[in-house]
Every structure is written in structure tokens, then in C-alpha cells.
Structure 1
Amino acid sequence: MTQPNTVDVQIMDKQYCIACPSEERDNLESAARYLDRKMREIRSSGKVIGADRVAVMAALNITHELLHKHQRESSNAREQVKSLLDRVDDALSDDANSSGNTP
């Protein structure tokens, strides 16, 4: 039976009771389903044997995905900031030229 502020999730046919604030319940359940799916994919490949090894490989794969997503988002943010700075520089240059000042 589930205790207050705990969530029961099933990963690779094992039940886990995890403490969790009620407002995070949906996120935890979603994360558990994602982890279960990744672990099952790894196990079904037949290349990794043993639940511990499958869990470590799943953790590494998920971490890799998150790091690459973060790197792409950081790169996009840098490009957007550079573009905005270029636009500001152009606007300031145009304003200085139209007012007769030279930079």
C-alpha cells in the first residue's frame, strides 16, 4: 500500500516505492516509464546482461542524451545572443551615422 507522499513505480518488472511530493508525482511516473523503456531496449539488444549493468548503461545513455541536448541549447542561445548583439551594434552604428557622429 502506498504511504502518503510516496509513489509506486515499476521498472523492469520490479516494484519501487519512492518518496515524492504530490506535485511531482506525474513527473516521477513519466521518468520511471522512460527509464523502464530504455532499460528494456538495452536488455533486448542482448549486448548487456544483468540488471545492474543494464541500469548503468541506461543511466549513461540518458545522461548522454541530456548533455547533448544541453550543449545544443547552449549553442543556440549563444548564437541568438550574438545575433542580438550584432543587431544592437548595427542600430547604434546607424544612429551614430545618421546623427553625424563617427564611431
Structure 2
Amino acid sequence: MSTATTVTLNILDKEYRVSCPPEERSNLEQAARHLDSTMRDIRNSGKVIGVERIAVMAALNISHEMLTGSRKQDGELDRQQQQIGDLVSRLDQALSRHQS
């Protein structure tokens, strides 16, 4: 069992100390960089003012990215499962013709 480690993250010019398992440190740092980049893009657009509002907009944008990606993966999985089903059906037909 791994011991949690404290990681210092910088997001929109603020420092946050977060505990996480050592094996998750890289993922946490990558997530923080993505959040920081998204928040900076929103702030630099000048359309949203206030750190709290910027954070909410960033959370919405990142959630949308995640859900859109999940839906694309689900659609691809459905397509692959359909192809596998079609192949199994064709194999069954070929085997039944061969056995007759």
C-alpha cells in the first residue's frame, strides 16, 4: 500500500497543495496543467471575469470535453461490437454450409 505524497500545483497563479498516491502524481500534475491552461484561455478571452466564474466555466468546458470523448468512445465500441456480431454470424453461416 502506497503512502500519499503532497504535490504542489500552480493553477491560475495560485498555489495548491494536494495529497495523492505517488503513482498518481504525474496524472494529477497533467490534470492541473490542463485546468490551468483552460482557465487562462477563459480569462484571456475577456468574456468571463472573476476567478470563481472562470473556474466554473473551465469545469463546464472540461466536463463537456470528457463527455463528448466518452460518447465518441461508446459509439466506436457499439460499432466494433456490431462488426464482431456480423463476423460471428458470417462464420456461423460458413461453418454450417461446410458441415452440411
Question: Do both proteins adopt the same fold according to a TM-score greater than 0.5, normalized to the shorter chain?
Answer: yes
Please list every run of 5 or more consecutive structure 1 residues that lacks an aligned counterpart in the other structure: none
Please list every run of 5 or more consecutive structure 2 residues that lacks an aligned counterpart in the other structure: none
Q: CA RMSD in A?
A: 1.0
Q: Secondary structure at the match of 1:10?
A: strand
Q: Secondary structure at the match of 2:69?
A: helix
What is the identity percentage for the equivalent residue pairs of Structure 1 and Structure 2?
Answer: 45
**Residue type at the aligned position of 1:32:** A
Q: How many residues align?
A: 97
Query: Greater CA radius of gyration, 1 or 2?
Result: 1
TM-score (norm 1): 0.90
**Between 65-74 and 89-98, the greater mean CA deviation after superposition:** 89-98
TM-score (norm 2): 0.93
Structure 1 residue 27 corresponds to structure 2 residue 27: yes
What residue in structure 1 maps to residue 46 of structure 2? Answer: 46
**Residue type at the aligned position of 1:63:** S
Question: C-alpha separation between the residues in 1 aligned to 2:16 and 2:36?
Answer: 12
What residue in structure 2 maps to residue 55 of structure 1? Answer: 55
